[in-house]
């Protein structure tokens, strides 16, 4: 069943850019953890980049506050940190921490498989039931480990951020 989206026809078996690479809710997760990781890697990357740009401006505040507001830079830094100790900012920090703590371990898995070429199994003749060799190779176990490590580290980060 094809449907119109932004002037382009999107077929169900060939989803467009948004559905296939940036929307985690449209991923069929059954026996598809690599696709889940692919979409999460992109979404968390966006979250981290948005934070990074804001973080660079924030950490420059001791410098630019002197120019813009003519105040003591470090006094202004403490003022900003006071604002950021509020609950809304802590929730934001928790979301960014979750993004980083998924993106980094999954990035290490991608480095190992794509850059160093390990954990992807040996190529061979396809035989029924035609399961790709990469799906039975070590990278699949590493991916499950990434999900476990992510949740454990995110809980620890939550304890640090909210206490």
Partner 1 sequence: MSSGKASSVQIWQYITAILLIGLLGFHLLERVPWIWGVSTMDQTLTAAFVYSDYVHFGWALLLLAYVALFHGLNGVRGMLLELRQGRMYTATINALFWIVFIVFAAIATLTVVKLPAYP
Residues forming contacts to partner 1 in the complex (CB under 8 A) are: 17, 21, 42, 45-46, 48-49, 52-53, 56-57, 59-60, 62-63, 66, 72-75, 77-78, 81, 85, 100, 104, 107-108, 110-111, 114-115, 160-161, 163
CA 138 to CA 12: how far, in whole Å? Answer: 31
- Nearer of residues 75 and 148 to partner 1, judged by Cβ: 75
- The least distance separating partner 1 from the CB of residue 134, rounded to whole angstroms, comes to 19
45-63 burial: b if 16+ Cβ within 10 Å, else e: eebbeebeeeeeeeeebbe
- The least distance separating partner 1 from the CB of residue 39, rounded to whole angstroms, comes to 12
- Nearer of residues 25 and 115 to partner 1, judged by Cβ: 115
- The least distance separating partner 1 from the CB of residue 102, rounded to whole angstroms, comes to 13
Cross-strand bridge partners of residue 5:
8
Preceding omega of 129 cis (within 30 degrees of 0)? yes
Question: Nearest 10 degrees: CA dihedral of 108, 114, 119, 120?
Answer: 150
- The least distance separating partner 1 from the CB of residue 59, rounded to whole angstroms, comes to 6
């Amino acid at each position: 069943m094809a449907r119109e989206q932004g002037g382009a026809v999107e077929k169900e078996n060939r989803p467009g850019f948004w559905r296939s690479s940036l929307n985690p809710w449209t991923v069929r997760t059954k026996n598809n953890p690599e696709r889940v990781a692919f979409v999460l890697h992109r979404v968390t990357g966006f979250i981290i980049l948005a934070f990074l740009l804001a973080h660079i401006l924030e950490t420059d505040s001791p410098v630019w506050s002197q120019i813009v507001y003519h105040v003591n830079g470090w006094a202004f830094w403490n003022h900003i940190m006071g604002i950021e100790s509020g609950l809304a900012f802590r929730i934001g920090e928790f979301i960014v921490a979750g993004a980083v703590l998924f993106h980094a371990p999954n990035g290490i898995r991608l480095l190992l498989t794509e850059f160093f070429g390990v954990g992807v199994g040996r190529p061979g003749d396809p035989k029924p039931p035609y399961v790709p060799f990469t799906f039975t190779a070590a990278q699949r176990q590493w991916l499950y480990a990434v999900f476990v490590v992510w949740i454990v580290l995110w809980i620890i980060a939550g304890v640090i951020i909210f206490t």
